[in-house]
Structure 1
Amino acid sequence: MALPAGSIPAGDTSYDRSYTGFSPSLGLTWKPLEDHTLYAAVSRSFEPPTHDDLIATVNGTPNSSAGRPNPAQPGLVSTAYRTPDLKAQTATTVEAGWRGRFGVVAVDAGTYYSWVKNELLSLRDATGASLGAVNADRTRHFGVDLGLSAFLTERLSGRIAYTFQDFRFQDDPVRGDNRLAGAPRHVINASARYDITGAWSVGAEVDWYPGRTPVDNMSSVYTDGYATVDLRSTYAINERVSVYGEARNIFDATYASSTLIVDQASPTQAVYLPGDGRAFYAGLKVSF
């Protein structure tokens, strides 16, 4: 549908913002044994908005440029840019953890909790068009990281890592205590490597995202969990030259590798970004 007079009125996009902050931190470490370290810390973070936050292209549709009025209401003025008066994001974070080794096994464990104020959120509308950035009121981030690696034999090694993250609004008048969109709750990565010879090695890796992840902050639409399996092999021709081959997503899983982050999504909205299917790679590495 043609626009009235074929043009959109221009608007002032100038802005002047100034941000200052103070980010103190205090950390303690203790080594009760030679191969074991305990640590704890408390810190204050300060994150001002970027220029991408302070001036955003808005409105339009996925099939037209920013600023285009809604085709159903072409007579309404629709701005192409938004320059919100955003506050800096601040947070107070406490964290603690332990790193240790038991013979051939190394362990890494940590946890943190953040009280976040004015978290910067980049949102989109129901069509996928950008709404620019906004400040949430209060949110909190809680996470746990666990890692385990081991050389099981002289030729066989393995690693597994698990991340738990629970990011939520706190008593938001609209979103309540909903989870923040786009943050998977569980992430598991496991890999193994076997050296067939001193020059030739093979390996496998699994990326697993169990559970569902909210696409929108209203927790009305979710993306399903998924798992992918990769295989790879490397052969060193000499100290400087090696060749490699890799097969990714060998079971050709169908999944959404990421999504648009929106405030209120629709079940029919195009928010899912598809992940790569089965793929094969080969290459040559040369070091100088």
Structure 2
Amino acid sequence: AGLVDLEAQTATTVEIGTRGRSANNRVKWDIAYYFAWIDNEMLELAVAPGLNQTVNAGRTIHQGVELGLDVTLLEGIFARSIAAPAPALASAKGAKAVQPVAAPAPQDRLVFRQNYLYNGFRFDGDKEFGDNQLAGVPEHYYRAELVYEHPSGFYLGPNIEWVFSDYPVDFAGTLFADSYATLGFKIGYRTPKGLSIYVDARNLTDEHYAATTGVINRAGAFNQAQFLPGDGRSFFFGVEYKF
């Protein structure tokens, strides 16, 4: 009793992307676009207070963009590269002796790192929900940080997490979670080996927002909380030791 016969979920997906860096190594990117035709997608939804059930959707479409972009805005702000030594004078036999060219010392830098996700997940001509957006997944998600990095291992900088637009909690598209943006700040010290520490401050503006939600067919069918709140202003401290 209460069990549902499910069909296997199948999909056909195409994807194209590029990963690389600029000649001067100041810009790095990782970009991918995908499109998937899905049959019998398995969706989990709340059907009664405290009871979830997995069902098959009809045809659905998932398309999206995954973007990572790092841009070095400034280099050599306080710590500049040391020039390689000049060739040595002639040796005793008269041949020119050249000292090995040392690798330039690393510089400090200011880096702007960005990650963006576009989640275009929707029904495809469903008899009840048409082409509605699938519930519970923000369509746009963006995270960025502006970080100062010193060659000694010290780093610090602000960061932002941003959901651009409201997104549905129910497949009928009648109840939505609000868009939000949170601001944070991180400072720390990392080394390839030995002790690394950091302090991470999150949601400094104490934004009230739903970090995630439940998923239901249609809002109003039963009375149950669907919005799961995100953390308020909070601080985290971490220590790591590498051998």
Opposite residue 12 of structure 2, the aligned amino acid is: T
Specify every segment of 5 or more residues in structure 2 that has no aligned partner in the other structure, as ranges. 76-107
Aligned pairs (5 A) from 1:60-99 = 82-99=2-19
The answer as to 2:126 corresponding to 1:172 is: yes
Q: Take 2:172 and 2:195, find their aligned partners in 1: how far apart are those partners?
A: 52
Over the matched positions of the two proteins, sequence identity in percent amounts to 40
User: Is the Cα contact below 8 Å between 1:120 and 1:134 reproduced in 2?
Assistant: yes
The answer as to 2:170 corresponding to 1:216 is: yes
The one-character-per-residue Cα deviations of 1:121-177 (angstroms, maximum 9, x if unpaired) are 11113x533241110111011112222112332322221122111111111111111
Aligned pairs (5 A) from 1:104-253 = 104-125=26-47, 127-152=48-73, 153=75, 154-196=108-150, 198-236=152-190, 239-253=193-207
User: Is the Cα contact below 8 Å between 2:193 and 2:241 reproduced in 1?
Assistant: no
Measured on the aligned residues, the alpha-carbon RMSD in Å equals: 2.0
2:237 maps to which residue?
Answer: 282
Specify every segment of 5 or more residues in structure 1 that has no aligned partner in the other structure, as ranges. 1-78
Q: Which of the pair has more CA radius of gyration?
A: 2
Q: Which has the higher contact order (CA 8 A, sep 6+)?
A: 2
1:237 to partner: Cα distance? 8.6
Q: Take 1:193 and 1:180, find their aligned partners in 2: how far apart are those partners?
A: 35
Q: Take 2:67 and 2:192, find their aligned partners in 1: how far apart are those partners?
A: 36
Size of the aligned set, in residue pairs, is 207
User: Is the Cα contact below 8 Å between 1:196 and 1:202 reproduced in 2?
Assistant: no
